C-alpha cells in the first residue's frame, strides 16, 4: 500500500466517522424516529483465566422507551460456557441511562468500553454511518435482524463499530469449534434473540440499534390490483405532523412496472394511490425535514392459494410390508385431491416468474452437474476446474471418500498448481481391494506401502503438501458419502463442499450427480471430527513432502 493510498483510505474513514457522529445525534433527537428514554445493553464476552481479561465478542446497545435502570447486569447464562481449560464465554444484559449510552459511544471511539467493568475491544473498529434495516421483506431475508432486538412497531436504524481485522477469529486454537459452540449456545437462549451463526461477520462488532416507533403503517392492495391503499398513524407523543413523502414502486423482471408518490403533513393518512401494478411492491416513507427514512417495505399480495386434502376410509385394508429384518409395517392408504382457488395460473405474472425461476437454476448450474454413462473425462474436468478455480481463496482442500486411493488423489488434487495443503481420508477396509492383486487379506502395512509406491512411481510429487489417512480397525468410525471440501483462508467465510455422488474411482462411469451442499460447515465439522480420531501413525497412509525432498 502506498502512502497516497493510505492517506486516501484514512480520509474516507474520517469522513464516515464524522457522518456517523452526526447520525447518532440525529437519531437520538426526541421525535425524529422515536421518543427514547433508556438503553438496554447485551454483551457477549470471552474471558481468559490466565490474563484475567475479558474481550468483547459482540455487543448490542438498543435504545427504547422504557424508563428503568439496572444497578447490576443480569447474567443470561446460569454458568459460563467452558470453551477450553483457560477460556470461557459469558453473556450479560443491563439497562442504562441515555446519558451513559452516549458516554459509551464516545469511549468506544477512544478504544475503551466501561459500561460495566472494563472489556477489551478490537483496535481495528471502524465507525460506520447509519444503516437502515427493514424488519420484514417478502422476497429476501434480512440477515442482520438475527442479531438485532425485534421491533414490532417498524424498522430499525443501526450505527455500527465494525471490527475489520477479526483477529479474534484466528487467535485461538480450534477456532471454528469454539465459535460454533458459542454461537449455538447463544442462539438457544430464549432471553436474547442473537444468532451469530447467520452473520458471523459481526463477531467482534459493537452495534447501536435505534428502533423506529414514530410511525406505524399498513399497506393493502385493492381488488383491481392497480390501486394500493396506505394508512399511517403517529406515535401518541407526536403533536405536530411531519412532512411525509411517500413513494410506491412495483417491479417485475428487473423493470419498474408501476410508480406513484404522495406528500402529506396530516396526523393520519388513509389514501389510495394508483400504482398500475401491485406485484413486488416497495413502499418508502420519509421525513422531508430530517431526511430520515421511516418506513421501507417490500410486499407481495396474496392472489390465490392451493389447498390439499386426504381422505381415508375407516377400517380399510392397509398396505403391508415385510423387510429383510422381518420387521413388518402397515401403511394406511388415503385418496388425495387438490383444490385450487387461483384462476389466473397462466397470467403474465406467472409466466414471467416461471421464466425467472428457470433462469435462476441455469445461473447456478455450476454448483451441480449431472453425469451419465461414459462421461469420465467430463467428470474429472468438472472437478479439476473447481480445484484450480479455488486455489486463490482457500487455504486447504480436503477429499473424503471410503474408496479413495493414490490414483484418485493424483487424478484430482494433483491438478492444483499452487502447493495448497491436501487432507484426505479413505477406508482401509473398502479401498484395499481396488488394486490389481485384489488381495482381501492385505494387511494395513501392505496397503500403506502399496499406496506410497503408487505416489512415488507415478509422480515426482513436486510441491505436493499431502496428508493421507485411513479409517481402519478401531480407529474412527465408518462412513459412506464422498465429499470434496474447500476450506477458506478467511475463517469468517463458509467452507464450500461438494457431494460427489460416487467414489472417485467410478466417477463419470455411470449416472450420478456432483452438487454443492447447503450446510457445508456441518460437513467440515464431521470431517474434522473424524480427522482427529485418525491423525496418528497407525492410520497414516502417506504424506508429502518427504524429508529432504524438493518443496
pLDDT in tens, 201-227: 899 999 999 999 999 999 999 988 899
**Beta carbons of 209 and 148 less than 8 angstroms apart:** yes
Res. 326 pLDDT band, cuts 50 70 90: confident
Task: Say what the pTM is.
Answer: 0.72
Q: What's the chain's length in residues? A: 551
Q: What is the mean pLDDT of residues 526-534?
A: 95
Q: How far apart, in whole angstroms, are the C-alpha atoms of residue 431 and residue 427?
A: 6
Q: Quick one: how far is CA 305 from the chain centroid?
A: 31
Grid coordinates representing 132 are: 437502515
Q: What is the mean pLDDT of residues 4-33?
A: 91
308 against 384, higher pLDDT: 384
Report the 10 Å Cβ neighbour count for 405.
Answer: 24
Please provide the DSSP assignment of 453-501 as one string.
Answer: HHHHHH---TT-EEEEEEEBTTBS------EEEEEESSTTSPPEEEE-S
What are the strands of the beta sheet with 292-299, ordered from one edge? Answer: 255-264, 244-252, 281-287, 292-299
Q: Quick one: how far is CA 402 from the chain centroid?
A: 30
pLDDT of residue 391: 72
pLDDT digit string, tens, across residues 158-178: 999 999 988 876 666 666 677
For 283, 352, 388, the CA distances from 276, given in Å and listed in that order, are 14, 17, 50
Q: What is the mean pLDDT of residues 504-521?
A: 91
Q: What is the mean pLDDT of residues 341-362?
A: 64
**Beta carbons of 424 and 409 less than 8 angstroms apart:** yes
**Beta carbons of 283 and 246 less than 8 angstroms apart:** yes
Report the 10 Å Cβ neighbour count for 526.
Answer: 15
Res. 364 pLDDT band, cuts 50 70 90: low
Q: Is the pLDDT assigned to residue 505 strictly greater than 80?
A: yes
**Nearest Cα to Cα of residue 34 among 378, 292, 347, 335:** 292
For 27, 56, 114, 121, 126, the CA distances from 107, given in Å and listed in that order, are 19, 14, 8, 11, 14
pLDDT of residue 308: 57
**Nearest Cα to Cα of residue 125 among 69, 167, 75, 81:** 167
Q: What is the CA radius of gyration of the chain?
A: 30
Amino acid at each position: 500500500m502506498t502512502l497516497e493510498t493510505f492517506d486516501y483510505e484514512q480520509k474516507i474513514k474520517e469522513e464516515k466517522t464524522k457522518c456517523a457522529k452526526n447520525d447518532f445525534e440525529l437519531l437520538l433527537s426526541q421525535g425524529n424516529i422515536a421518543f427514547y428514554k433508556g438503553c438496554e445493553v447485551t454483551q457477549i464476552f470471552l474471558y481468559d483465566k490466565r490474563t484475567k481479561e475479558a474481550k468483547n465478542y459482540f455487543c448490542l446497545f438498543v435504545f427504547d422507551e422504557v424508563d428503568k435502570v439496572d444497578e447490576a447486569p443480569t447474567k443470561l447464562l446460569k454458568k459460563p460456557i467452558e470453551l477450553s481449560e483457560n477460556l470461557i464465554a459469558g453473556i450479560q444484559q443491563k439497562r442504562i441511562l441515555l446519558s451513559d449510552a452516549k458516554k459509551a459511544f464516545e469511549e468506544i471511539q477512544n478504544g475503551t468500553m466501561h459500561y460495566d467493568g472494563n472489556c477489551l475491544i478490537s483496535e481495528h473498529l471502524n465507525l460506520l454511518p447509519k444503516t437502515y434495516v427493514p424488519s420484514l421483506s417478502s422476497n429476501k431475508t434480512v440477515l442482520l435482524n438475527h442479531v438485532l432486538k425485534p421491533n414490532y412497531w417498524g424498522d430499525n436504524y443501526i450505527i455500527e463499530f465494525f471490527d475489520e481485522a477479526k483477529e479474534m477469529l484466528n487467535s485461538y486454537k480450534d477456532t471454528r469449534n469454539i465459535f460454533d459452540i458459542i454461537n449455538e449456545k447463544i442462539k438457544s437462549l430464549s432471553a436474547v434473540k442473537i444468532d451469530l451463526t447467520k452473520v458471523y461477520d459481526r463477531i467482534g462488532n459493537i452495534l447501536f440499534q435505534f428502533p423506529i416507533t414514530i410511525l406505524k403503517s399498513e399497506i393493502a392492495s385493492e381488488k383491481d390490483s392497480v390501486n394500493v391503499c396506505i394508512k399511517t398513524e403517529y406515535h401518541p407523543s407526536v403533536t405536530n405532523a411531519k412532512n411525509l413523502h411517500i413513494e410506491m414502486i412495483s417491479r417485475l423482471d428487473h423493470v419498474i412496472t408501476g410508480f406513484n408518490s404522495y406528500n402529506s403533513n396530516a396526523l393520519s393518512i388513509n389514501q389510495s394511490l394508483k400504482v398500475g401494478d401491485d406485484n413486488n411492491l416497495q413502499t418508502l416513507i420519509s421525513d422531508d425535514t430530517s431526511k430520515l427514512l421511516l418506513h421501507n417495505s417490500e410486499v407481495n399480495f396474496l392472489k390465490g392459494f392451493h389447498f390439499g386434502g386426504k381422505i381415508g376410509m375407516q377400517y380399510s385394508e392397509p398396505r403391508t410390508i415385510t423387510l429383510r429384518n422381518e420387521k413388518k409395517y402397515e401403511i394406511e392408504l388415503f385418496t388425495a385431491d387438490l383444490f385450487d382457488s387461483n384462476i389466473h395460473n397462466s397470467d403474465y405474472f406467472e409466466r414471467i416468474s416461471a421464466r425467472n425461476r428457470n433462469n435462476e437454476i441455469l445461473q447456478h448450474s455450476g454448483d451441480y452437474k449431472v453425469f451419465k454413462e461414459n462421461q469420465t473425462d467430463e467428470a474429472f474436468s468438472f472437478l479439476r476446474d473447481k480445484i484450480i478455480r479455488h486455489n486463490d481463496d482457500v487455504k486447504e482442500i480436503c477429499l473424503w471418500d471410503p474408496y479413495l486411493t493414490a490414483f484418485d488423489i493424483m487424478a484430482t488434487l494433483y491438478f492444483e498448481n499452487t502447493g495448497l495443503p491436501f487432507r484426505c481420508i479413505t477406508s482401509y477396509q473398502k479401498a484395499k481391494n481396488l488394486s490389481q492383486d485384489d488381495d482381501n487379506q492385505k494387511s494395513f502395512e501392505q496397503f500403506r506401502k502399496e499406496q506410497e509406491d503408487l505416489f512415488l512411481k507415478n509422480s515426482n510429487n513436486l510441491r505436493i503438501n499431502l496428508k493421507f489417512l485411513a479409517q481402519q480397525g478401531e480407529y474412527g468410525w465408518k462412513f459412506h458419502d464422498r465429499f470434496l471440501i474447500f476450506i477458506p483462508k478467511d475463517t469468517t467465510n463458509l467452507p464450500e463442499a461438494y457431494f460427489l455422488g460416487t467414489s472417485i474411482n467410478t466417477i463419470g462411469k455411470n449416472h450420478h450427480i456432483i452438487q454443492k451442499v447447503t450446510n457445508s460447515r456441518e460437513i467440515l465439522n464431521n470431517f474434522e471430527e473424524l480427522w482427529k480420531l485418525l491423525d496418528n501413525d497407525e492410520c497414516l497412509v502417506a504424506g508429502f513432502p518427504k524429508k529432504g525432498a524438493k518443496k
